[in-house]
């Protein structure tokens, strides 16, 4: 039988100029810029520009792009209706996937059967995902829909639409920075999905909707949800050691520690930890911070003793940051989508620049040719 | 620079027991059975069973499966609302992608975070796609929605819901058989999309919705639309030769002739031609048949003279068959989705049986690491 790489592991599926990850050095770079610098000094809107255009905007382009994106935030009545009638027990990722595909129908002058696209002009997908998530949360909880506010940054406006009150300046900055940190990560499963769909020259909406479907899967999104489930289970700082001993005895993984790619420290986790400390001190609620830091310390100590150094990844602290910003756990994966959409769009545009339809081979291992039986139903 | 196969051409991306294509011999087999036999003797419902379960149903299983699928045809009020409010100028594929993702939210007991799934039980996606397409067409044209009828086959019921009157028995059989012929075709771009999304353990609805997005692209679906555009352009049998001479002089392709995979005759095209002849004779309108047969003859003659034998593929005749069944051109790609959904689902289930997340590598060709400029906007 012919050999092949399951899950296309290690197989090069295309070229890209968008993102570089150096796991050994703990580097993540968007268009060459280190993620720590971007997350600290560049807004999500400018980061989106960088991803979509390949270079940082000048002052004029930045203002123009920001205005376009802020003008595109408001939801139409039919989308609000879809949100209102979305079945109670369902997951918001199903709603996002559906809404983005539906939104495609509202875009004028889109060129969906050619190599170019006006999504850098309309920016609906990037602009409206936060609005959909916030509206979903509020309507689901019997609260009124809060229209967007153009004076606010992407991150701050999301918190405002979600909570119904203005966030502090620092909260807005932290949210925006968290979005920057999750905006891009090379050919992960959802980004690859977006490129595969784009390769048939489908619309960017179809491609992004499909990527959301991929991110919904438990093997992709949801890591920070599981960290918080673990934190809730641990409950107190004092319970960290007994919990950890029991977990390690059962060969259970500590969620959010270690990373498939980063062998050194995930460059995003330092900043996330800083945000968690700030928000914990501001709120006077140190519980999450104390549990996580103790868990990090104790896990690293035990793993170093075994000669297996391990570090927290971005998901280790991000769930607690989101909770302290007033975001319920069910929205963590939708928030991942609302940041990653910028990277997805960049990849869709890049795919179109030098496209070839993704059409790999299957290795057939089924029954030999045979005739139908005579006793058909 | 490292080499790689663009579009993963020739790269094996997984094993499959569902479909075998032998292009040299002109064979297409579902689970080992030749497509000609299936399309002639097996209903779309039993073909779907074959694809999903790996074997043909016995009489009892066939009846049970048929009943389940027919019970699942009716659309809920929220889906009808999405259809009613779908923007005028948009493509129905955008609607289908959106509706399937939305439908995910209505399914109880679905196991979307594990290897199994109850989609073989609920059968919503296979059952409701025809209803959505028919409802879209009627509502868009100011006609009332026709509820499904359980006594009718999958194909006949679609024609009934679309046209508002019972099709003849032969029309129903032809429609059902056309669906069988398009139900599966190994790792094409949309099926690969479905498997990539399923590989993150997302729901089958997310996976199928994504596959619809892929099929929407002009490099994938839409070939029979383009055949009919060409037929309309040619207009009369007498104009075939002048049109063809002009087209060949411009190196323009004759749509629907030749196939990437089939070097011998596409096994589906004979049967499709038979259906076209029958419907043409029944309706007394031989125009499409006459143009297409003349075009086939003249094209083959010219290509054989050049030593490049060429044959009509399934798309060459299918568009004309659909038109004579009263189906508008805009619905051709949606009908492709409504048949291929059975194959997609079979691949999603197969992917889950022995899953590995699809996560290939990218070859980074972007800028070297650099610091942010000092003059940030």
Predicted confidence band of residue A1 (pLDDT cuts 50, 70, 90): low
Pairwise CB contact (< 8 Å): A42 & B78: no
All residues of chain B having their beta carbon less than 8 Å from the beta carbon of residue A369 are: 20, 27, 29, 32, 34
Distance (Å, rounded) from C-alpha A317 to C-alpha A296? 10
Is B18–A365 a contact, with Cβ atoms under 8 angstroms apart?
no
pLDDT class of A309 with cuts at 50, 70, 90:
confident
State how far the Cα of B106 lies from the Cα of A95, in Å rounded to an integer.
11
Task: Measure CB to CB from residue A373 to each of B12, B56, B86 and give the nearest one.
Answer: B56
pLDDT of B299 above 90 = yes
Residues A261-281 as b/e (b if ≥16 CB within 10 A, e otherwise) read ebeeebbbbbbbbebbebbbe
Q: What is the per-residue pLDDT for B335?
A: 97
Residue B16: beta bridge partners?
Answer: A364
- Contacts B99 to A, Cβ<8 Å: 98
Q: How high is the pLDDT of residue B109?
A: 42
Cα–Cα distance measured from residue A42 to residue A363, given in angstroms and rounded to the nearest whole number? 47
Alpha-carbon distance of B221 to A355, in angstroms, equals 17
| Paired tokens of A362 | 């299957």
Give the per-residue pLDDT at B113. 43
Q: Which pLDDT value is given to residue A114?
A: 45
Residue B55's contacts (CB-CB under 8 Å, 6 or more residues apart) are B31
Query: Which residues of B belong to the active site?
Result: 259, 315
Q: What is the DSSP string of A64-108?
A: HHHHHHHHT-PPPHHHHHHHHTS-TTS-HHHHHHHHHHHHGGG-T
Confidence of residue A107 (pLDDT cuts 50, 70, 90): confident
Are the beta carbons of B115 and B62 closer than 8 angstroms? no
How many angstroms separate the Cα of A210 from the Cα of each of A337, A353, B206, B209?
Answer: 11, 20, 7, 7
Looking at chain B from residue 19 to 38, which residues have their Cβ under 8 Å from any Cβ of chain A? 19-20, 27, 29, 31-34, 37-38
pLDDT of residue A40: 97
- Whether the pLDDT of residue A352 is over 60: the answer is yes
Rounded CA separation A302/A318 (Å): 23
**What does the pLDDT look like over A136-177, one tens digit per residue?**
999 999 999 999 999 999 999 999 999 999 999 999 999 999
Is residue B318 within 8 A of residue B339, CB to CB? The reply is no
Q: A358 vs B189: CB contact, 8 Å cut-off?
A: yes
Res B159 pLDDT > 90: yes
Task: Give the residue from B201, B202, B374 with the most A CB atoms within 10 Å of its CB, the best one to mutate.
Answer: B202
User: Could you write out the DSSP letters of every residue in A98-136?
Assistant: HHHHHHGGG-TT--TTSS--SHHHH-HHHHHHHHHHHHH
Q: How far is CA B274 from the centre of its chain?
A: 20
Tell me what the mean pLDDT of segment B30-44 comes to. 98
Question: What is the pLDDT, as a whole number, of residue A221?
Answer: 79
Q: What is the pLDDT of residues B312-341, one digit of tens each?
A: 999 999 999 999 999 999 999 999 999 999
Is B96 in a helix, a strand, or coil?
helix
pLDDT tens-digit map of A322-346: 999 999 999 999 999 999 999 999 9
Is A377 close to B46, i.e. CB distance below 8 A? Answer: yes
| B125 touches B51 (CB < 8 A) | no
Q: Kindly report, residue by residue over A46-61, the tens digit of the pLDDT.
A: 999 999 999 999 999 9
B143 and A CB contact within 8 Å? no
Plot region of B284 (φ>0 → left; ψ -120 to 50 → alpha; else → beta): left
pLDDT digits (tens, 9 = 90+) for B94-127: 999 999 999 988 876 454 444 466 778 889 899 9
When scoring B38, B358, B365 by the number of chain A Cβ atoms within 10 A, the one with the most, hence best to mutate, is B358
Residue B186: C-alpha distances to residues A169, A300, B15, B47, B189 (Å): 53, 47, 10, 15, 9
**Partners of residue B89 in chain A, C-beta under 8 Å:** 105
Residue-wise pLDDT tens digits, A231-263: 999 999 999 999 999 999 999 989 999 877 777
In chain B, the percentage of residues whose pLDDT exceeds 70 is: 97
Phi first, then psi: give them for residue B320, nearest 5 degrees: -65, -40
Contacts (Cβ under 8 Å, ≥6 apart) of A285: A324
Distances in whole angstroms, Cα of residue A217 to Cα of each of A214, A222, B202, B203? 6, 8, 4, 7
Which residues does residue A261 pair with via DSSP β-bridges, in sequence order?
none
Q: What is the mean pLDDT of residues A341-365?
A: 94
Q: How far is CA A48 from CA A245, A349, B34, B216, in A?
A: 43, 13, 50, 27
Determine the residue among A206, A222, A350, A351 to mutate to test chain B binding: the one whose Cβ has the most chain B Cβ atoms within 10 Å. A206
CB atoms A199 and B189 under 8 Å? yes
Cβ–Cβ below 8 Å for B364 and A19: yes
User: Measured between CB atoms, does A62 come within 8 Å of chain B?
Assistant: yes
A137 is known as an active-site residue: no
Domains of chain A in start order, with CATH, are 13-218+328-353 (1.10.580.10), 223-324 (1.10.230.10)
**In degrees rounded to 5, what are phi and psi of residue A361?**
-100, 155
| Chain B residues lying within 8 Å of A7, measured CB to CB | 199, 356-359
Region A203-212: mean pLDDT is: 95
Contact A196 B200 (CB under 8 A): no
Report pLDDT for B112.
Answer: 46
State mean pLDDT over A114-130. Answer: 81
Q: Token pair 């189906």 is at which residue?
A: B327
State how far the alpha carbon of B272 is from the alpha carbons of A38, B25, B169, B180, B347, in Å: 58, 19, 17, 12, 26
Residue A367 confidence (pLDDT) above 80: yes
Q: Do A7 and B359 touch (CB under 8 A)?
A: yes
pLDDT at B262: 75
Q: What is the pLDDT of residue A121?
A: 80
Q: Which residue blocks in B4-54 are alpha helix, DSSP H?
A: 35-41, 44-53
Q: Residue B260: which residues within 8 A CB-CB, separation 6 or more?
A: none
The percent of residues above 70 in pLDDT, for chain A, comes to 97
Burial class (CB in 10 A: 0-12, 13-18, 19+), B265: middle
B-facing residues of A in 79-138 (CB < 8 A) are 81-82, 85-87, 89-91, 93-95, 97-99, 101-102, 104-106, 112-113
Q: With pLDDT > 90 as the criterion, what percentage of chain B qualifies? A: 81
Q: Find out whether A68 and A121 touch, Cβ atoms under 8 Å.
A: yes
The per-residue pLDDT for range A2-11, each reduced to its tens digit, is 689 999 999 9
Q: What pTM was estimated for this model as a whole?
A: 0.95
Question: In the numeric block, which tokens belong to residue A346?
Answer: 């960049």
Q: Which of A2, A200, A209 sits opposite B209 (nearest CB)?
A: A209
Point out the least confidently predicted range of A163-167, B2-6, B144-148.
B2-6
pLDDT of A112 reads 46
d(CA A239, CA B116): 35
The percent of residues in chain A predicted with pLDDT above 90, rounded, is 81
CB atoms within 10 A of CB B349: 21
From CA A260, how far away is CA A231, in angstroms rounded? 22
Pick among B77, B87, B210, B348 to test the A interface (most A CBs inside 10 A): B210
Residue from A259, A266, A347, A371 carrying the catalytic annotation:
A259
Spell out which residues of chain A touch residue B210, defining contact as CB-CB under 8 Å. 193, 197, 209-210, 213-214
The pLDDT value recorded for residue B1 is: 52
Structure-block tokens of residue B170: 């032969």
Q: What pLDDT is stored for residue A24 in this prediction?
A: 87
| Separation between Cα atoms, residue A145 and residue A80, nearest integer Å | 9
Residue A113 pLDDT level (bands cut at 50, 70, 90): very low
pLDDT band at A109 (very low <50, low <70, confident <90, very high): very low
Q: pLDDT at position A108, please?
A: 61
Q: What average pLDDT does the structure give for chain B?
A: 93
Is the Cβ of A159 closer than 8 Å to some Cβ of chain B? no
Q: Is B358 on the interface with A (CB under 8 A)?
A: yes
CA pair distance B2, A11, nearest whole angstrom: 11
| Amino acid B326: pLDDT | 97
Secondary structure (3-state) at B83: helix
For the segment B134-145, the average pLDDT, to the nearest whole number, is 97
């Amino acid at each position: 039988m012919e050999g092949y790489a399951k899950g296309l592991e290690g197989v090069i599926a295309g070229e890209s100029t968008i993102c570089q990850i150096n796991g050994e050095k703990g580097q993540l770079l968007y268009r060459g810029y280190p993620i720590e610098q971007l997350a600290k000094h560049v807004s999500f809107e400018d980061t989106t520009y960088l991803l979509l255009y390949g270079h940082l905007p000048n002052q004029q382009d930045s203002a123009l792009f920001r205005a376009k994106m802020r003008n595109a935030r408001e939801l139409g009545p039919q989308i609000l209706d879809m949100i209102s009638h979305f079945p109670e027990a369902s997951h918001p990722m199903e709603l996002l996937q559906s809404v983005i595909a539906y939104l495609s129908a509202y875009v004028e002058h889109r060129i969906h059967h050619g190599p170019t696209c006006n999504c850098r002009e309309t920016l609906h997908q990037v602009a409206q995902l936060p609005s959909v998530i916030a509206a979903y949360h509020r309507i689901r909880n019997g609260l009124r829909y809060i229209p967007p506010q153009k004076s606010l940054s992407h991150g701050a406006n999301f918190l405002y639409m979600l909570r119904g009150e203005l966030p502090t300046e620092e909260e807005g900055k932290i949210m925006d920075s968290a979005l920057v940190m999750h905006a891009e990560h090379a050919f992960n499963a959802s980004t690859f999905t977006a490129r595969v769909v784009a390769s048939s020259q489908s619309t960017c909406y179809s491609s992004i909707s499909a990527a959301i479907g991929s991110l919904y899967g438990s093997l992709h999104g949801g890591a920070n949800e599981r960290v918080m489930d673990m934190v809730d289970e641990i409950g107190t700082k004092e319970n960290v050691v007994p919990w950890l001993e029991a977990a390690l005895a059962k060969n259970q993984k500590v969620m959010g520690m270690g990373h498939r790619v980063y062998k050194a420290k995930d460059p995003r986790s330092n900043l996330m930890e800083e945000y968690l400390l700030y928000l914990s001190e501001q709120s006077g609620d140190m519980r999450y911070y104390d549990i996580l830091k103790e868990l990090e310390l104790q896990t690293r100590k035990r793993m170093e003793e075994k000669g297996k150094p391990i570090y927290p990844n971005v998901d280790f602290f991000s769930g607690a940051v989101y909770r302290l910003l007033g975001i319920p756990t069910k929205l963590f994966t939708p928030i991942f989508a609302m940041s990653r959409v910028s990277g997805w769009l960049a990849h869709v545009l890049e795919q179109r620049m030098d496209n070839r339809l993704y059409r790999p081979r299957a290795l057939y291992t089924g029954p030999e040719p045979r005739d139908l039986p005579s006793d058909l139903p």
